[in-house]
Amino acid sequence: MATGTADFVVIANRLPVDRITAPDGSTMWRTSPGGLVTALEPVMRRNGGAWIGWHGAADENLKPFEHNGLHLVPVPLSDDEIAEYYEGFSNSTLWPLYHDVVAPPEFHREWWDAYVRVNRRFAEQAAKVAKPDAVVWVQDYQLQLVPTMLRELRPDLRIGFFLHIPFPPAELFQQLPWRRQILEGLLGADLVGFQMPGAAQNFVRLVRQRVGHKTHRDMIYLPDGRTVLAQAYPISIDAAGFEELARTPEVIARAAEIRESLGSPKTMLLGIDRLDYTKGLRQRLRAFGELISDGSLHVDDAVFVQVATPSRERVDQYKILRDDINRLVGRINGDVARIGQQPVTYLHASYPRSEMAALYRAADVMVVTPLRDGMNLVAKEYVACRYDDRGALVLSEFAGAASELKGAYQVNPHDINGMKSMMLEAINASPREKARRMKAMRKQVMENDIDLWASNFLRELTSVRDPHAKNPRPV
């Protein structure tokens, strides 16, 4: 039974800190910027919370430690486990499978074995840390077996799970040789949260078909009388924090400087993504390149700034993508650049948040064109930074954010011609039309921020409805 001290436990693949090395060789921890930690920090402080996750280095056992008032519990991973559980099963099997197989998923039994082993380690750690009847919130696709593993160890806990990426339709999910184990792993939770209602429906349908449990709308009825609720909680950002940052004199000055250094173009288009094959970088750059080469846009008038943050660099598909994008940018610039006028500025690097805010402020058109995306926070961050009601958002209809951001110029990223005409429409829209659309999107983003997301999820998870009670089954 329970020995731990935490009333609230977050379990995620990574701890919300990075280790940095000072010039004198000493090391220290720095909170990694991100909406999740911003949203959960106050809840963790109020409840004597603990965060369980990997600390980012291979083959290293660290003791739990405090950082900025957070109790952090590191989970060790060996070099092989990083290759098999993280880069393998999580990022080369589940990631492509859950994103509409836009890259072929790989199925390897030894990756699965590592996934099971590492999930068990996280569950065991949580079982030690949680107080009796504590609330535990498990995050994302790397840890889908944790809810059931943890419930077996600690039936007293209230367990929530949130999936940050899409949950695929049955037709794709059933390719997975371990489909039943994953569904059963998730069913250990009292509440399973998804970005979109369609994802929750996919899950419920699969549970009915593959596991054979009774379901009714968003409720799953287990044979032991327990119920599991599957619902959508579209994630958001620290909207006020982004706006505040975008309003600082430093960011405003930096935004002006960026435009100037690009040659003060009439139109600056911007893309910011992790360098990932789901983000539709190829399609977007091709569309822009064609607009220049067919004369719809003039090279003196328009520039495209693409920031591609390095990501998962040891995974083969990401190495291929990196080379592809390098070649594509080289080809576009080679074909249509003039001395002093380069249409695509490609930055394969990561930047501080203030630089991101300056880029958002500088851009006339933000282009977000994933082939599939759970939500896409970049789209919301852009909107939060545009307190001037200027700017336009071109957004893929395959991003979760599309169902909330109706004021965006929505595109099908597979349709290059359609994307070209939508980009032109966004560029040429009147200031009045742009402001109308931006105002509607800002209302949505500012009113539905990450705090509301976290409190909605936690309210349902801890609601008076006792998830362990024997709910009547549907007739």
List of residues contacting ligand GDG (CB under 6 A): 33, 164-165, 235, 272, 274, 309, 350-353, 356, 373-378, 381
CB 279, min distance to ligand GDG, A: 8
Tokens of 23: 């010039």
CB 393, min distance to ligand GDG, A: 13
Q: Which is nearer to ligand GDG, 33 or 76 (CB)?
A: 33
The Cα–Cα gap between 309 and 230 comes to 33
The Cα–Cα gap between 348 and 340 comes to 21
Tokens of 28: 């220290």
CB 118, min distance to ligand GDG, A: 20
CB 263, min distance to ligand GDG, A: 23
The Cα–Cα gap between 60 and 70 comes to 21
- Compute the Cα dihedral for 40, 41, 44, 50 and give only its sign: positive
Q: Which is nearer to ligand GDG, 184 or 273 (CB)?
A: 273
Long-range Cβ contacts of 86-90 (<8 Å, 24+ apart) = 86/13, 86/142, 87/312, 87/314, 87/315, 88/114, 89/114, 89/115, 90/13, 90/115, 90/141, 90/142
List the beta bridge partners of residue 368: 395
Judge whether 65 and 19 are in contact, CB under 8 Å. no
Q: Which is nearer to ligand GDG, 127 or 411 (CB)?
A: 411
CB 433, min distance to ligand GDG, A: 26
Q: Which is nearer to ligand GDG, 123 or 385 (CB)?
A: 385
Q: CA dihedral defined by 361, 268, 291, 311, rounded to 10 degrees?
A: -60
Type of residue at 202: N
CB 318, min distance to ligand GDG, A: 13
- Compute the Cα dihedral for 276, 280, 283, 285 and give only its sign: negative
Q: Which is nearer to ligand GDG, 235 or 461 (CB)?
A: 235
- Quick check: helix, strand or coil at residue 3? coil
Q: Which is nearer to ligand GDG, 199 or 220 (CB)?
A: 199
CB 165, min distance to ligand GDG, A: 5
Tokens of 389: 């009601």
CB 293, min distance to ligand GDG, A: 29
Q: Which is nearer to ligand GDG, 157 or 362 (CB)?
A: 362
Judge whether 461 and 191 are in contact, CB under 8 Å. yes
Q: Which is nearer to ligand GDG, 306 or 342 (CB)?
A: 306
- Quick check: helix, strand or coil at residue 104? coil
Q: Which is nearer to ligand GDG, 293 or 456 (CB)?
A: 456
- Quick check: helix, strand or coil at residue 222? coil
Q: How far is CA 183 from the centre of its chain?
A: 21
Judge whether 157 and 123 are in contact, CB under 8 Å. no
Name the nearest CA neighbour of 96 among 106, 86, 82.
106
The Cα–Cα gap between 149 and 117 comes to 11
Tokens of 466: 């006792």
CB 110, min distance to ligand GDG, A: 26
List the beta bridge partners of residue 341: 338
- CA angle 113/117/123 to nearest 5° reads 145
CB 220, min distance to ligand GDG, A: 23
Judge whether 292 and 334 are in contact, CB under 8 Å. no
CB 355, min distance to ligand GDG, A: 7
